[in-house]
């Protein structure tokens, strides 16, 4: 659906030139929710704005479907942009227009017949759960409701791609979750391809199929969210994941606390149905080792449950080794922490 090849974006010229993107290559499949995560200044906003050509790339290509966006003339580009919806961090609503008129705005721009506008606006209001708010103005809405208006407006022209530029960053956690559920529902109902950028790993974990980690204008790693989240290769990725946990310092203290010389501390990861099985307790009974759980969590990555435990095993070296081998044989991911 979206193919980005060797994308470069440089601001300024000569000695003052600054490279925001340094040869980005990405593939986003039809119907996928693809997340791009990075710190401020990493280049993620520039990248998403290059997809719909709000920023003109210095070099490289962005292809959506069969259309190379970088080769289009002005009128062709305007036409193609109607097929790309976009929602923003600060909503960008028309303050003097009602909810109804905000959603109708992009349709009226292309002179859509009045009856068709009315039909589509009512359809979008129902989709985002704002039918009863059609006559209100943005100032009368909560932040979550404003973002729902932004989503409805972006979808009014029946786009094939929806771009989300930090769409939940200005919202509280509960409202963020409701917007993420709405985006996931829209993805399922409409088969819409969604690309979202964020600096929050929770957003990626909640709804994305794949993720790319961008830093300094370069993609450091990418892949299915469950792989990147549970087995991060890069320090930047590990930092995002660590910041999701408010017990990182406690874990460091526990790992370095006094312990028997033969003890081994490992991270054990359970994925899918294995998350709810008593594999650990059964295994230590078989191998006759003691264990202490230093940290543990059970959560979900989109629809896949997972569990992660930091466990210290105590016993003879041979018994501990048998324990680790037995856990691995039962399809658990076992990684030594120290």
Residues 222 and 289 in one domain: no
pLDDT grade for 231, boundaries at 50, 70 and 90: confident
* Domain boundary, last residue among 224, 242, 260: 242
Query: In this model, does residue 219 exceed pLDDT 90?
Result: yes
Mean pLDDT of 178-189: 93
Assess whether 216 and 326 both reside in one domain: no
Same domain for 297 and 221, yes or no, is no
Q: Which of 242, 257, 276 is the last residue of a domain?
A: 242
Q: What is the pLDDT of residue 262?
A: 82
Mean pLDDT, rounded, of the chain = 91
The answer to whether residues 155 and 279 belong to one domain is no
Question: Is the pLDDT assigned to residue 213 strictly greater than 90?
Answer: yes
Q: Check which CATH number belongs to the domain holding 271 and give it.
A: 3.30.70.260
Residue 204 pLDDT greater than 60, yes or no: yes
Domain containing 184: what range?
A: 2-242
**pTM of the predicted structure, to 2 decimals:** 0.88
Percentage of the residues of the chain whose pLDDT score is greater than 70: 96
Res 245: pLDDT: 60
More confident residue, 250 or 236: 236
pLDDT band at 244 (very low <50, low <70, confident <90, very high): low
Residues 14 and 122 in one domain: yes
pLDDT tens-digit readout, 82-140: 899 999 888 899 999 999 999 999 999 999 999 999 999 999 999 999 999 999 999 99
Do 235 and 256 reside in the same domain of the chain?
A: no
* Number of domain units in the chain: 2
One domain, residues 151 and 269? no
SS3 for the chain is CEEEEEEEEEECCHHHCEEEEEEEEEEECCCCEEEEECCCCCCHHHHHHHHCCCCCCCEEEEEECCEEHHHCCHHHHHHHHCCEEEEECCCCCCCCCCHHHHHHHHHHHCCCCHHHHHHHHHHHHHHHCCHHHCCCCHHHCCHHHHHHHHHHHHHCCCCCEEEEECCCCCCCHHHHHHHHHHHHHHHHHHCCEEEEEECCHHHHHHHCCEEEEEECCEEEEEEEHHHHHHCCCCHHHHHHHHHCCCCHHHHHHHHCCCCCCCCEEEEEEEEHHHHHCCHHHHHHHHHCCEEEEEEEEEEEECCEEEEEEEEEEECCHHHHHHHHHHHHHCCCEEEECC
Same-domain check for residues 169 and 59: yes
The mean pLDDT of 259-273, rounded to a whole number, is 87
pLDDT bracket for residue 251 (50, 70, 90): low
> Are 221 and 271 contained in the same domain?
no
Could you say which of 223, 242, 261 is where a domain stops?
A: 242
Do 32 and 179 belong together in one domain? Answer: yes
**183 & 262 share domain:** no
Q: pLDDT at residue 169 above 90?
A: no
For residue range 40-60, list pLDDT tens digits in order.
Answer: 899 999 999 999 999 999 999
Residues 261, 228 share a domain: no
Q: What is the pLDDT of residue 238?
A: 85
Segment 136-158 mean pLDDT: 95
Query: What CATH number has the domain bearing residue 209?
Result: 3.40.50.300
- The mean per-residue pLDDT over the stretch 208-229 comes to 95
């Amino acid at each position: 659906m979206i193919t980005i090849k060797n994308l470069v974006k440089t601001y300024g010229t000569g000695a003052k030139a600054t490279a925001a993107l340094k040869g980005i290559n990405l593939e986003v499949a039809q119907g996928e929710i693809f997340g791009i995560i990075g710190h401020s200044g990493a280049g993620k906003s520039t990248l998403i704005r290059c997809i719909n050509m709000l920023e003109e790339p210095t070099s490289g290509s962005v292809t959506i479907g069969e259309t190379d966006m970088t080769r289009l003339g002005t009128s062709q580009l305007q036409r193609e942009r109607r097929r790309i919806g976009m929602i923003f961090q600060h909503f960008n609503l028309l303050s003097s227009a009602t909810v109804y008129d905000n959603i109708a705005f992009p349709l009226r721009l292309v002179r859509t017949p009045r009856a068709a506008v009315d039909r589509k606006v009512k359809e979008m209001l129902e989709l985002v759960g704002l039918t009863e708010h059609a006559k209100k103005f943005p100032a009368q809405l909560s932040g979550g409701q404003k973002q729902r208006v932004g989503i409805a407006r972006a979808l009014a022209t029946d786009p094939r791609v929806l771009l989300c530029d930090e769409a939940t960053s200005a919202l509280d956690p509960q409202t963020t979750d409701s917007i993420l559920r709405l985006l996931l529902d829209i993805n399922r109902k409409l088969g819409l391809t969604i690309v979202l950028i964020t600096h929050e790993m929770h957003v990626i974990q909640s709804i994305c199929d794949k993720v790319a980690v961008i830093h300094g204008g370069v993609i450091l790693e990418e892949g299915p969210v469950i792989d990147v989240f549970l087995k991060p290769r890069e320090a930047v990725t590990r930092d995002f994941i660590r910041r999701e946990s408010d017990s990182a310092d406690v874990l460091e203290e526990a790992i370095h606390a006094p312990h028997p010389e033969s003890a081994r501390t490992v991270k054990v990861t359970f994925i899918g149905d294995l998350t709810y099985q008593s594999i650990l307790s059964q295994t230590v009974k078989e191998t006759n080792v003691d264990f202490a759980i230093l940290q543990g969590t059970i959560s979900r990555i989109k629809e896949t449950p997972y569990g992660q435990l930091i466990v210290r095993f105590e016993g003879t070296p041979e018994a501990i080794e048998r324990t680790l081998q037995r856990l691995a044989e039962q399809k658990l991911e076992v990684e030594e922490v120290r």
